[in-house]
Amino acid sequence: MSGTVTPPLLRMSDVHVRLSGSHILQGVDLTVRRGGVTALLGRNGAGKTTTVKAVLGLVPSTGTIEFTGSDGRNQRLSGRRTHEIVRHGIGYAPEDREVFGGLTVAENLTLAERRNSPHHHDRVYELFPELKQRSRQLAGTLSGGQQQMVAIARLLLNDNQLLLIDEPTKGLAPLLVAEVAEVLARAAEEVTILLVEQNLTVVRRMADDAIVVDQGRIAWSGPAPELMADADRTRELLGVATTGGHA
Amino acid sequence: MSTVVLLTITGLGLAALYFLVASGLSLIFGLMGVLNFAHGAFLTIGAYGTWWASDHLPGAGSTGWGFVLAVVFGVAVGTAVAALIELALIRPLYERHIEQVLVTVGLSLALVALVRATWGADPHPFPRPEWTQRTTSVLGANVPNDRFLLIGSAVVVLVAVLAFLRFTRFGLIIRAGVENRSMVTALGIDVRRAFTLVFAIGGAFAALAGALGGIYLGSISPGQGTSLLIFAFIVVVIGGMSSITGTAVAAVLVGLVQQFANYYAASGVGDLSVVLLLAAVLLARPSGLTARLA
């Protein structure tokens, strides 16, 4: 029996975020283990997106955020600039996709190529053949679903260790939701995903672990199937029963 | 007919001067959101750098390749000063726009005062290569050659900027940064390097405008950059704040309106006409002629 304990990929300790006088995150403590999908759940305005942005340094925060990469080195992310954090192998797909509408699909992907990483255009075009056909089209003229493909393709283009994906199925038609979930499930075989998601059907299908944020604090964390199986708890924490639909 | 031709080409020459100053302003505002009131000082530095080099720099002079070398020196000094200002004074104030404005206003005053203290407040005759002092006959109009030099330089700069934005990685970063700066950084790109580059490019264009403006006006004075800056800001606003092609179109409009109004109405009416043009464009299209980079 080995005594070695694998450190978590991401650890946040006592993280606070204050924006425009509001205390958004009030001492968040969480860990994301290496491998699989960890769902970050919570009601609207609970602090899920702010938690992800705090990891990336997109909002000012206090407290400790640490990342242990595949080389075993523990990196303190707090206080570092966003581009330095991302270069540790952390990819980000924001809630509103935020593709560059004035650039073509191909330019969006070229821009996402990181210098210190191999680029997997073949993998991206295999997952999203439509993007190859539309490579010269301005991203701003794509549908919401196609823009989401670009946003996810940007993540899969580089070798990442952690993907922070914020509501990838928001506003998509059911068929596209299933398609996006399928792509993320395939990606999760190779890379750890921290997934902010309101659609509990997607959570039930993909998530191994779940973390629930409530009013800027972690209200629950543990195996996702355990949370999904407990209707009373999901109703209490998320405001819905787990029999379907959105949180 | 010859008067219209002369006014048109002279107006285009003036437009070229405005474009050289305004293109840098537009790039800087588009990417960084910085209203750079020190931009006119870069023009002054370019003009005085060229003037000084033509007399003192070994190999430089007031004619031929010697003059080209003097202009290169002036542009290099303007570029270096712009890059240093970005690194030392603008970078620490990212996201603090009011402080940035105050710093650039202060710089514009301080740099002009420094030039005045060093070389005096009086205008200095600017070296003009012999070719630029001659005229070329176009459809019966004797057009001063320096207008062609200005127009040619502005066209080269316009094509170079568009090619830079379209075909280089830095250009891609700048176009993306104008749309969504924080998402560019979230892709692992240090957007601050693009900021410094854009500031330096803006400084280079303004310094070039200073050197060419010296030829156009025949003399240089410390306050020259500041007065040209006002029209450059008008051009940027009419063009759409962060659009290079919009800036080019706006510069042509402003240059032509100013020249024709000054000739056919009365001297000085040209400036008023430009302000009226600004008001008309803003009423019809509040975002300017176009609000997109490139």
DSSP string, chain B: -HHHHHHHHHHHHHHHHHHHHHHHHHHHHHHH----TTHHHHHHHHHHHHHHHHHHSTT--SSHHHHHHHHHHHHHHHHHHHHHHIIIIIGGGTT-HHHHHHHHHHHHHHHHHHHHHHH-SS-EEPP--HHHHSEEEETTEEEEHHHHHHHHHHHHHHHHHHHHHHHSHHHHHHHHHHH-HHHHHHTT--HHHHHHHHHHHHHHHHHHHHHHHHHHHSEE-TTHHHHHHHHHHHHHHHHTSS-HHHHHHHHHHHHHHHHHHHHHT-TTHHHHHHHHHHHHHHHH-TT-S--S--
The nearest CA of chain A is from the CA of B35 a distance in Å of 23
Among candidates A86, A102, A103 on the partner chain, residue whose Cβ is nearest the Cβ of B186: A86
Whether A43 contacts chain B with CB within 8 A: no
Determine the pLDDT at residue A1: 43
pLDDT in tens, B185-207: 999 999 999 999 999 999 999 99
Separation of alpha carbons A180 and A144, rounded Å? 12
Q: Which two tokens stand for residue B86?
A: 């970005």
Point out the least confidently predicted range of A64-68, A121-125, A238-242, B259-263: A238-242
The C-alpha angle with vertex B31 and arms to A58 and B276, in degrees rounded to 5, equals 135
Whether A56 contacts chain B with CB within 8 A: yes
What mean pLDDT value characterizes chain A?
A: 91
CB neighbourhood size of B155 (10 A):
13
Whether A185 contacts chain B with CB within 8 A: no
Determine the pLDDT at residue B174: 92
Query: Which residue is it, tokens 């200095």?
Result: B124
Position A4 pLDDT exceeds 80: no
Q: Which two tokens stand for residue A119?
A: 């680029």
Say whether pTM exceeds 0.90. Answer: no
pLDDT in tens, A126-181: 889 999 999 999 999 999 989 999 999 999 999 999 999 999 999 888 888 998 89
Residue among A105, A108, A111 with most chain B CBs within 10 A, to mutate: A111
Identity of the amino acid at B159: V
Angstrom distances, CA of residue A65 to CA of A11, A122, A179, A197, B118:
6, 34, 32, 22, 53
CB contact under 8 Å between B186 and A81, yes or no, is: no
Determine the pLDDT at residue B262: 94
What is the three-class DSSP state of A107?
helix
Determine the pLDDT at residue B241: 81
Separation of alpha carbons A43 and A179, rounded Å? 25
Query: Closest Cα partner for B174 from B31, B21, B17?
Result: B31
Nearest-Cα residue of chain B relative to residue A86: B188
Determine the pLDDT at residue B213: 94
ipTM computed for the complex: 0.89
Query: Which chain B residues are Cβ-neighbours of A100 within 8 angstroms?
Result: 175-176, 179-180, 183
Determine the pLDDT at residue B268: 84
CB contact under 8 Å between A111 and B183, yes or no, is: no
Taking a C-beta distance cutoff of 8 angstroms, is the pair B212, B17 a contact? yes
Among candidates B173, B178, B186 on the partner chain, residue whose Cβ is nearest the Cβ of A92: B186
Q: Which residues contact A174 (CB under 8 A, 6 or more apart)?
A: none
Taking a C-beta distance cutoff of 8 angstroms, is the pair B44, B115 a contact? yes
How do strand A209-214 and strand A217-223 relate by DSSP bridges? antiparallel
Determine the pLDDT at residue A207: 96
Determine the pLDDT at residue A241: 61
| Polymer length in residues for chain B | 294
Query: Which chain B residues are Cβ-neighbours of A58 within 8 angstroms?
Result: 182, 185-186
Output the 3-class SS for A172-240.
Answer: CCHHHHHHHHHHHHHHCCCCEEEEECCEHHHHHHHCCEEEEEECCEEEEEEEHHHHHHCHHHHHHHHCC
Confidence of residue A242 (pLDDT cuts 50, 70, 90): low
Burial category of A233 from C-beta neighbours within 10 Å (exposed 0-12, middle 13-18, buried 19 and up): middle
With a cut of 70, list the residues of chain B below it in pLDDT: 291-294
pLDDT in tens, A178-232: 988 999 998 999 899 999 999 999 999 999 999 999 999 999 999 999 999 998 9
Rounded to the nearest angstrom, the gap between the alpha carbon of residue A189 and the centroid of all alpha carbons in its chain is 15
Taking a C-beta distance cutoff of 8 angstroms, is the pair B240, B150 a contact? no
Determine the pLDDT at residue B13: 96
Separation of alpha carbons B95 and B100, rounded Å? 9
Whether A112 contacts chain B with CB within 8 A: yes
Mean per-residue pLDDT, A52-74: 93
Query: Closest Cα partner for B61 from B72, B75, B77, B45?
Result: B72
Determine the pLDDT at residue B16: 97
